[in-house]
Amino acid sequence: MKIGRDYQLIVTIIKKGFAQRVINAAKRAGARGGTILHGRGVGIHDQKKLLGIPIEPEKEIILTLIHKDKTNTVLKAVVEAGNLQKPGTGIGFVIDVDKVVGIVSLLEEFGEDLD
């Protein structure tokens, strides 16, 4: 089994319609791509908040797996493309990933221990 280490997951939650713009910016900054998930708030009339940011019913969630060496560059591109520096536009955060499987070409690119 091939297991990689030293990866992070950039999670971006933005307003509907911005996902492709964010993915394109991440790819230009060195990411190989991403996964777009569609989400909805708890209720159409309930306005919840996460860290003080209103969560509207329709959102796009982007998952970008990235080697730690590229995280800061890709995250900066994501912030700019998603206008995350402006209040109420969305949120982004990074999670450390202990193990990664199934991305052999990415693991080989960074010379990861594949066994």
Cα diameter, the chain:
51
Which of the listed CATH numbers 3.30.70.120, 3.40.640.10, 3.65.10.10, 3.10.100.10 matches domain 7-109? 3.30.70.120
Q: Where are the domains of the chain?
A: 7-109
CB 54 within 8 Å of CB 86: no
Give me the pLDDT at residue 35, please: 95
- Using CA atoms, how far apart are residues 106 and 103, in angstroms rounded to an integer? 6
How many secondary structure helices (H) and strands (E) does the chain include?
A: 3, 6
Using a cut of 0.85, tell me whether the model's pTM lies above it. no
Spell out, as residue ranges, where the chain has pLDDT lower than 50: 1, 43-46, 114
